[in-house]
Amino acid sequence: MIENKTFIIAELSANHNHDFDLALRTIQAMAQAGADAVKVQTYTADSLALDVDNEYFGAKKEGLWKGIRPYDLYREGMMPYEWQPKLKKYAEELGLLFFSTPFDVQGVDFLEEMDVPIYKIASFEINDIPLIEATARKGKPLLISTGVADLSDIELAINTCKYVGNEDITLLKCTSQYPATIEQANLKTIPDMKKRFGVKVGLSDHTMGWLVPVTAVALGATVVEKHFILDRTLGGPDASFSMEPQEFKEMVNLIRDAEKAMGKISYEITDKDRNKRRSLFASADIKQGDVFTESNVRSLRPGFGLPPCHYMELLGKKSPRDISKGDIIRMSDIN
């Protein structure tokens, strides 16, 4: 991933609508919008569900995909495997990193043959320890979404990666609602996750707009992932919570501005700024031998003279020189 700046991922997901040319045009728009990477998903419907109609695999009873069987939803959203090497080549020609979320071990092996540089574990797979172990064993950086995970789930996933020698882990704070509301973001979790688990932390976001991602970056997120679509009117399983190109570009620009605003830890000031502060001035003409008093010395702007912290030390001493009203008091005037 990219050092010293937020790694911004454009998620293609199901927004290809089974149109290879649309996928190409979407990736081109991602590059133009300022993304660092394009992420896809590597699965078949059989990776995630059974083609049966019972209480477990029947039509969903609520949510964005109400009335649709999981098997049918995944069959609609899946990206053909034969596309993925071609899309990777195209993305890399545009300067984008290309990687994926595998949903079974066969997908991991397929992606490893493609030599993807990063892997992601989706929120709903965080308890699939065999999948996490197989993915971590590839030795690549690993992003792990935590949208449906509790503390013990996260600890087990991290420990699984470390057990096989992979410590390049980034947890992604995620709210697994589609779309999610701003109130559900709970971004204070980001610095807590970083401290609690000792790994990098980012955001996989399903809210609308740029507010949550930019705030997350200000709180320490090193990765931001958002779904990307050329036009929400194209429809599809993920269209309603995906960003259009201009929205994504605005988010990227605001994140880069936030990075500039955060800058670095610094308590230094320039001489120019130092001189904007107060210092001690003669508020009346002072003759050599006159005593410095509250009547003839004041703390005023600018800061070219003796700092006001010496005020009490100065009072009661005799002036070693003539000082005109409006002139600075110097350190040598105390000695």
Q: What does the pLDDT read at residue 268?
A: 94
* Strand partners of residue 98: 38
Is residue 203's pLDDT more than 80? yes
Provide the pairing of β-strand 97-102 with 37-42. Answer: parallel
Stated pTM of the model: 0.89
* Class (C level, CATH) for 7-43+78-262: alpha beta
Query: DSSP secondary structure string, 223-286?
Result: EEEEEB-S-GGG--TTGGG-B-HHHHHHHHHHHHHHHHHH--------HHHHTTS-EEEESS-B
Q: By the 8 A CB rule, do 203 and 218 touch? A: no
pLDDT (tens digit per residue) in 42-94: 999 999 999 999 999 999 888 777 889 999 989 988 999 999 999 999 999 99
What average pLDDT does range 183-194 have in this prediction? 97
Q: What does the pLDDT read at residue 62?
A: 84
Q: What does the pLDDT read at residue 1?
A: 67
Q: What does the pLDDT read at residue 176?
A: 86
First to last CA, the chain: 59
Query: What mean pLDDT is reported for the chain?
Result: 96
pLDDT (tens digit per residue) in 248-290: 999 999 999 999 999 999 999 999 999 999 999 999 999 999 9
| CATH code for the domain defined by 268-335 | 3.90.1210.10
Is residue 134's pLDDT more than 80? yes
Per domain, the residue ranges of the chain are 7-43+78-262, 268-335
CA atoms within 13 A on the CB side of 178: 16
Q: Other CB atoms closer than 10 Å to residue 37's CB: what's the count?
A: 21
pLDDT (tens digit per residue) in 212-245: 999 999 999 999 999 999 999 998 888 989 999 9
CA dist 242 and 234 (Å) reads 11
Is residue 2's pLDDT more than 80? no
Residues 6+ apart with CB under 8 A from 56: none
Q: What does the pLDDT read at residue 335?
A: 80
